[in-house]
Every structure is written in C-alpha cells, then in structure tokens.
Amino acid sequence: MTMNLEYLFEPRGVIVTGVSSHPGKFGFVALHNILSCGYKGRVFAFGREEATVLEQKVITSFDSIPANEADLMILCTPVGANEELLRKASEKGVKAVFCAAGGYSEIGDEGLKAEKRLVTLAAELDLVLVGPNGQGVVSPPAGLCAQIVAPYAPKGRIAVVSQSGNFVSSFLNYANQTGIGISRSVSAGNAAATEIIDFLEWFSIDPATDVALCYIEGLEKGRDFFERIKEITKKLPIVLVKGGITVGGQRAAASHTGSLASDSKIFEGMTRQAGVTRAPDIESAFEIAATFATQPLPNGSRTLVLTTAGGWGVVAADAISQSSELVLAPLPNDLKETINKLLPPRWSRNNPVDLAGGETRDTIPELLSVASKHPEIDSIIQLGLGIQGNTANLVRTGKFYPEHGLERIVNFHERQEKRYAEASIEVSLTSGKPVLVASELAATQPNNPMVKTIRDSGRLCYISANRAVSALNHLVRYSGWRNQSN
C-alpha cells in the first residue's frame, strides 16, 4: 500500500530540533531555511537552551507545543536524544519525521543498532520516518525548504528523490537555472524506513507531480522494487540515474551508502522492461525530466527538423538517425508543396527543412504552424533560432549603438526572436505535439530574447540539437511503452 507522505510534504506545522544560535549547526540552518524561504505554517524551534534564534523563541520542552499543530519534525539532534523526541512528538500529534542527524548505520555497527531502534519505534508510533542522515525535504507548493543545504527551488512539476543528498541539490540548482520547477524533493539518507520506491509510489498519486527524477545507488529488495516500479510507471514517468554500474563505482557506492553490488545488466534489463527512463548522467537526467514536465507526450517517432542553420540541421539528422526511437519523418508531398510556396527554391526540399536564408519576416511562424498540424509529423525540433538576437547583442553593446539606424535593426532582430519563440510554444500547445528549440545560446546567453521567451513560457531551451534529440527520444520510448502497458 502506498505510504501516506502528505504530512511530510504538506505539513500544517513543523518542529525543528537541535536549534541553537550557532549558524553552522544543522538545527540553525534548517530553521533558517524554513523561515527564510516563506513557509506559511507554524514553526517550532526546539533546543537545549532558551534563546531567541532568527527572531524565533527556542523552546526547551515539548509542553510548550500545542497538540496537533505540527505534522512534521526535522531532527537535527544527536542519536542519543532522538528516540525520546519521537515519543514526545507523537504525543503532540506529529505524523512524519525527517531525521537529518547522522551517526546511524553510515558509521558502523553501533549506529546501525540505533537506526534499527529508531525504525522500530517510529513504526510503533505510526510515524513516517525519513532518513536518517538525509539533507532534508523541500516542497515548493507548501513553501517548505526544510533542509540543511541549498538551494530552495521554484515550484513546478518534477518530484525528486535521491540516495545522495548532493544530487538533490544538483537537480534543484538546475531548476533554479532553467526555471523548470520542483513539486517535491527529498534526500532519502540511509532510507532506513522510507525507501526510494515508497517516495516514487507516493509521487504517482501526488496531484502536484508530473514526473519523478531519481538517483539510486543500491537496492536491498530488488524484486519488490521492480514489482512496484512497473505499476508506478504506468501512471508517472520516472527518470532514473543509477550510481555504481561498474566495479569501481560499486566500490565507491559501498563506501558512500553501504550499497551492495548489483548486476548492472540485470538492473538495466529490468528497468527497461518496467518502462523506467534511464539517464546516463545528472545533467541529462534533469533535461529529460524537464522535458516530461513541459512537453506533451509524442504520438509517434516521426520527427521534423526545422533549421535556419545548415550545420545544426546536419548534426540533428545524424543524432536522429543514431537514436533508438526517432526517425526523420519523410517529408510529405503536400507539406513540401506548401513549403515551396513559402520559400525560394534553394531550401533543402527535405527533412531537415533547411531554410537556407530564404526566410522573410513571417516564414518561420507560418512554417511551424503548417508543419505542426500535419498528421504525418509527430514532433518538431527547431534549430538556428537566437542568431539574430546574438547579432543584436553584439550591436547593442558596440560602440556605435544606438546611432546609424542601429537601434531600429536591433529592435527588429529582438522582436523577431521573440516571435519565433512564441510561435514554437503556441504551435506546440495548439497541436498537442512536442516542439523542442535548441541553441547553445541557452547556456551562453540566457538573456537572448529567444532563450528568455522560451524560459519565461516555462519550457526548456536545449543547449544543442543532440540534447533535444536525446530528450525527445526518451519521451517517444516512454510514450510507446505506456501505450502498450495500459
């Protein structure tokens, strides 16, 4: 049965333990982040000494906490204190505990014993226990940043769970950079009582979440994991990075999370069978999840490339041809004839549709509109945008601007970029088909008007044709898998 994690991600109130005035301590940092990032529920700071920390009165006894006002407790106290705190919190109606404190199984046998006691006690008290030794929980829909690390993240549709707290931070960093936000994120720590699969299961019934993003190093109960994950993927796409897929990596994982070596080939086969999207690295994992979160699922593999830059068309065609799922859509005759009317004869007359400099003011929006409506086109990858905006940037920052007619042409270039980007978003929404825009300017010039327009629309501008192709390939694979499985 799916665990109830609502008290973890949507708590009415939060207790933080281990609060003191030292700004380097976990208790202080967790309290700071909760208060500073705008959590609206009640916050109780619990510490050993009466004090005022961050304008918050530190309480030294649970007697001062009213019953049923706090659903969640963040433990930043030493091992020896925590069992007693669980009991007291339970008496006050707390339902979920995130244990950020370390000193448990990660340090050896003594810690393992303490961890087992904590797990048993939490079960007795009917408490959800997350961690120990985790970096925290973040839930932008609740305004909650209950973690001992940075950053917070904008609200969005991606739910993150990770066996490595640092990768939670990595994904949240990408969320901040791209504006593609987060619904929930949690560092599973030692995952003593609540495991990765429990989070994934809950994400699949969470109305705030459209895709799960997950880093995992080891599985203790592989069969159980696969039985459950293949049910989840029928409803929710899961993007997964596996650490420890080589002997060298497994040795490092054993030291990091105590994970046992597993057979990478078997894991690969089972995740594939279960419709899990495997990402090779952290950066592409985020990109793929962001694509699931912001583009419609494609109905098929027939991909059209539209480009105003010939070289990008060539490498996109290579990438599509090398991909496992995508095909360069054969250009339908009626579409070819329509394009003939829009462009002078030097266009490529094939897919990629290379405009070869033949476009005028309205060509790109018109072409996008026509192509996206065509029943033999499932997805569009659009390349070469941003170049006019880049030219505008060189002129705008140059020594002759704004004289000599430069202001007018800069404004024209920038307006056009904005229009092109708006058109790509609009035709995607209208047609219900993925339209992915790629340009290295996404990385190199975030204020390019094309890049900014895509970003402000809540979508991702990919840094290259290759990355867009890779992300789209995963959507097509998952889409096909889900159609077969449901």
Residues 242-271 that bind a copy of itself (CB under 8 A): 243-249, 251-253, 255-257
Sole window of 48-56, 65-73, 92-100, 197-205 interacting with a copy of itself (rule: CB under 8 A): 48-56
Q: How many CA atoms lie within 13 A of 240 on its CB side?
A: 27
- Cβ 72 to a copy of itself, closest distance in Å? 20
Does residue number 394 form part of the binding site for a copy of itself (CB under 8 A)? yes
Structure tokens that stand for 461 in this block: 């501008």
Does residue number 363 form part of the binding site for a copy of itself (CB under 8 A)? no
Does residue number 23 form part of the binding site for a copy of itself (CB under 8 A)? yes
Give the one residue of 296, 391, 419, 458 binding a copy of itself; rule: CB under 8 A: 391
Q: Which residue, 44 or 167, is less far from a copy of itself as judged by CB?
A: 167
Q: DSSP label at 260?
A: P
Ranges of beta strands (E only) in 127-256 are 128-130, 136-139, 144-147, 155-162, 182-187, 211-216, 238-242
Does residue number 380 form part of the binding site for a copy of itself (CB under 8 A)? no
Give the one residue of 17, 20, 32, 47 binding a copy of itself; rule: CB under 8 A: 32
Does residue number 324 form part of the binding site for a copy of itself (CB under 8 A)? no
- Cβ 234 to a copy of itself, closest distance in Å? 29
Q: Which residue, 207 or 405, is less far from a copy of itself as judged by CB?
A: 405
Looking at residues 87 to 106 of the shown chain, list those that interact with a copy of itself (rule: CB under 8 A). Answer: 102, 106
d(CA 353, CA 194): 50
Q: Which residue, 4 or 412, is less far from a copy of itself as judged by CB?
A: 412
Looking at residues 425 to 464 of the shown chain, list those that interact with a copy of itself (rule: CB under 8 A). Answer: 440-441, 443-445, 463-464
Does residue number 140 form part of the binding site for a copy of itself (CB under 8 A)? no
Tell me how far CA of residue 159 lies from CA of 135, 202, 207, in angstroms: 16, 10, 11
Does residue number 20 form part of the binding site for a copy of itself (CB under 8 A)? no
**3-class secondary-structure state, position 59:** strand
Nearest 5°: the CA angle 361, 381, 458 is 85
Looking at residues 203 to 232 of the shown chain, list those that interact with a copy of itself (rule: CB under 8 A). Answer: 215, 217
Tell me how far CA of residue 75 lies from CA of 66, 72, 136, 385, 460, in angstroms: 18, 10, 10, 49, 36
Q: Which residue, 342 or 395, is less far from a copy of itself as judged by CB?
A: 395
Helices (H) and strands (E) in the chain, counts: 18, 19
Site string for a copy of itself, 277-316 (x = CB under 8 A): ---xxxx-------------------------xxxxxxxx
Tell me how far CA of residue 398 lies from CA of 391, 403, 405, 446, in angstroms: 11, 11, 13, 19
Containing H/E element for 321?
A: helix 310-322
- Cβ 4 to a copy of itself, closest distance in Å? 28
d(CA 142, CA 145): 9
Q: How many CA atoms lie within 13 A of 63 on its CB side?
A: 2
Does residue number 35 form part of the binding site for a copy of itself (CB under 8 A)? yes
Does residue number 78 form part of the binding site for a copy of itself (CB under 8 A)? no
Does residue number 177 form part of the binding site for a copy of itself (CB under 8 A)? yes
**Residue 379 near residue 303, CB atoms below 8 Å:** yes
- Cβ 355 to a copy of itself, closest distance in Å? 11
Does residue number 170 form part of the binding site for a copy of itself (CB under 8 A)? yes
**3-class secondary-structure state, position 109:** helix
